Structure 1
């Protein structure tokens, strides 16, 4: 057997050992809950985002007697179940809170703002694209004042954006964005579930709306990716120039309008590559957020990325006319490091007002939370998964950055 034949043999053997799509997603993405993760029988991930009655009344407003009367009516009418009773307090889950917001006619994001797409990208690997995407999406979903419906669209074939937060039922059908975009180009591909669903009478619009998986937050959903989504690139290069252009625009013209009926803000996590799947996202996005670790090599790589992005956007069908906003943010920043401080100063001089002045700090809390399949906003200091200082450092930096980000987003999306 030649070396080339041996490589083919190894590939065949690895495929035999590889789990199928459904089993892999269940293993990688399902939230795992043990007895240690339960508080009075409630999943810790759910418990950490509960609010008590006083906090809800401060949010919604109204006199205490009127508020309590309406709260009783909501429970009596079966709109929500009885709250969790702990330490003489009534605690309401995130799902119950959003039912209550609807019941009290609390203002929605969509009342005064247009739906927007925010793409998080940088061709330099390890710059915190996925962690930045998830923590920002979580922060936005937890912002009850904003009251927006959030979707995370994972276009990285590694599929890491949904790990630990996606809730998967045993009878779930797994559809990725690549499945949706390629359906008409691979009608003979039995592995594409979209064509199977279409053959069984489902409408394409309904399939798109059913793609997102729910999470521990009732207003946050995730559309996952999977390694075989790499085939989008292969299919693109097999098409003629006109069909290539149509494929790049399909997400923007066909899929995105359907998603924007369901979601106010869509965060896209891109892979660290310059390829047709990233071009498709750039063709559709409104906002580009570029995370950068303030180190010498990351600065050089991001400089090259920005040069490439400048050219790439001009070569897309819309020639970049869809881009309304671009900002960079320094992440994983150690303010006690002189080299990193000097790199941030270099960014301020070169990027200027396109760099957020608030940074996301380097903290062990990010790593500890990721190991649990959560963001730093999904943990409590009392869980002691890191030191109190590291917890405060991470959470405070995220909240300060989100406040800056939110101001810009609200102004940009105002009707």
Structure 2
């Protein structure tokens, strides 16, 4: 047996031991998604609770009116009793969003069109997945915007979406990735084909392929390593017409269905120029490009932007679907003179497409990642970093999110023509 033959045999052996999508997700969700519980409540859920005073102030209701409405909502079965702890009532995000809906509070969709925001950079290690997760969580926690958020993972080598799934996974759960759905129209075998043969419509399959997270209005659509086959099937396609259908199905058939249910769809993408990136670029409305302010990142991002601008013009939509694009500085050490110099260079070259806010380099982000969370999922009281570092990190993340959502809303009003 040659060494090449031996490698082939190793791959076969490993495939036999590899968990399926279902087995992997069931295994992950059978363990608490956080490292601890607070009085029987998952730490992630607890960290995002609001006490009665904070929630009431958000609603702008008088204390008596608020109390009466809460009492009535409990009697009507809209929410269970709030959690009572340390002499205060706590409302989970599930409580809060159920009440906002029941009370007819304003939503994102009342005034704005749903948007797809792709987070891209072909260089690995630019903070792409971290940015995707942070923007998704920030959007889901934004009560003023009150949007339904979906995080779609299109990176076959990534585990972003898988790590955010929470709650019990039922036996009849559909275990399909976005790539599985895209390829469902082109593959005669597989779970998509089985569901289709069982009478499920394409729309049914799409809407039932998302998973809940620890935040009531944030869902995820995870990726899986088998999504790599998209590239092989694309290059093996019998005709250019079939290739175009593979590239456009996400934009023309999948995203429109998801936009019926979600207001903000954030797409984490693979770090390479590939047919899967082309499909994402054909489906996006907005493009967010994270960059670490270092010289080698500047060079690689320059190449990425040049390649992407050319690629967008070659896609079926000719790039006309792109309504908004911004470059975002991430992982910035404000004390570093070389990094400040790189930001100056970005200001000169990217100009008004460079977001003025940025994300600072932070130990909190690293600590949160080790806990399988985002920095926004960590409470200050957990003391993972100093209070000063905690505030700096969270403030920088929220500053970026606020700028992004303001600009997205500005190009998404229902009176606009786009």
Alignment correspondent of 1:11: 11
Matches of 1:367 and 1:26, distance apart in 2 = 26
**Structure 2 stretches of 5 or more lacking a match?**
none
TM, length-normalised to structure 2: 0.96
Q: CA deviation at 1:4?
A: 2.0
Contact kept, 8 Å, 1:29 with 1:165, in 2: the verdict is no
Between 1:125-134 and 1:12-21, the stretch displaced more is 12-21
Q: CA deviation at 1:165?
A: 1.9
Matches of 2:60 and 2:140, distance apart in 1 = 20
Contact kept, 8 Å, 1:141 with 1:149, in 2: the verdict is yes
3-state secondary structure, aligned to 2:118: strand
3-state secondary structure, aligned to 1:90: strand
Matches of 1:136 and 1:62, distance apart in 2 = 29
Alignment correspondent of 1:199: 197
Matches of 1:246 and 1:163, distance apart in 2 = 27
Matches of 1:33 and 1:120, distance apart in 2 = 25
Matches of 1:29 and 1:74, distance apart in 2 = 31
Q: CA deviation at 1:37?
A: 1.4
Mapping 1:286-325, distance limit 5 Å? 286-325=285-324
- Of 204, 219, 244, which aligns to 1:221? 219
Alignment correspondent of 1:73: 72
Displaced runs of 4+ in structure 1, greater than 6 A? Answer: none
Contact kept, 8 Å, 2:234 with 2:246, in 1: the verdict is yes
Mapping 1:83-232, distance limit 5 Å? 83-167=82-166, 168-171=168-171, 172-187=173-188, 189=189, 192-232=190-230
Alignment correspondent of 1:45: 44
Once the two structures are superposed, residues 308-365 of structure 1 have per-residue CA deviations (whole angstroms, 9 ceiling, x without a partner) of 0111101100110100010000100001011111001100000000001111000010
3-state secondary structure, aligned to 2:70: helix
Mapping 1:360-375, distance limit 5 Å? 360-375=359-374
Contact kept, 8 Å, 2:174 with 2:205, in 1: the verdict is no
3-state secondary structure, aligned to 2:287: strand
Alignment correspondent of 1:354: 353
TM, length-normalised to structure 1: 0.96
Alignment correspondent of 1:23: 23
Alignment correspondent of 2:255: 256
Change (3 A) 1:99 1:226: same
Alignment correspondent of 1:241: 240
3-state secondary structure, aligned to 1:198: helix
Q: CA deviation at 1:227?
A: 0.5
Contact kept, 8 Å, 1:208 with 1:259, in 2: the verdict is yes
**Equivalenced residues, count:** 411
Between 1:155-164 and 1:290-299, the stretch displaced more is 155-164
Change (3 A) 1:33 1:224: closer
Change (3 A) 1:53 1:397: same
Q: CA deviation at 1:249?
A: 0.9
Contact kept, 8 Å, 1:166 with 1:222, in 2: the verdict is yes
Q: CA deviation at 1:385?
A: 1.9
Supply the RMSD in Å over aligned alpha carbons: 1.4
3-state secondary structure, aligned to 2:122: coil
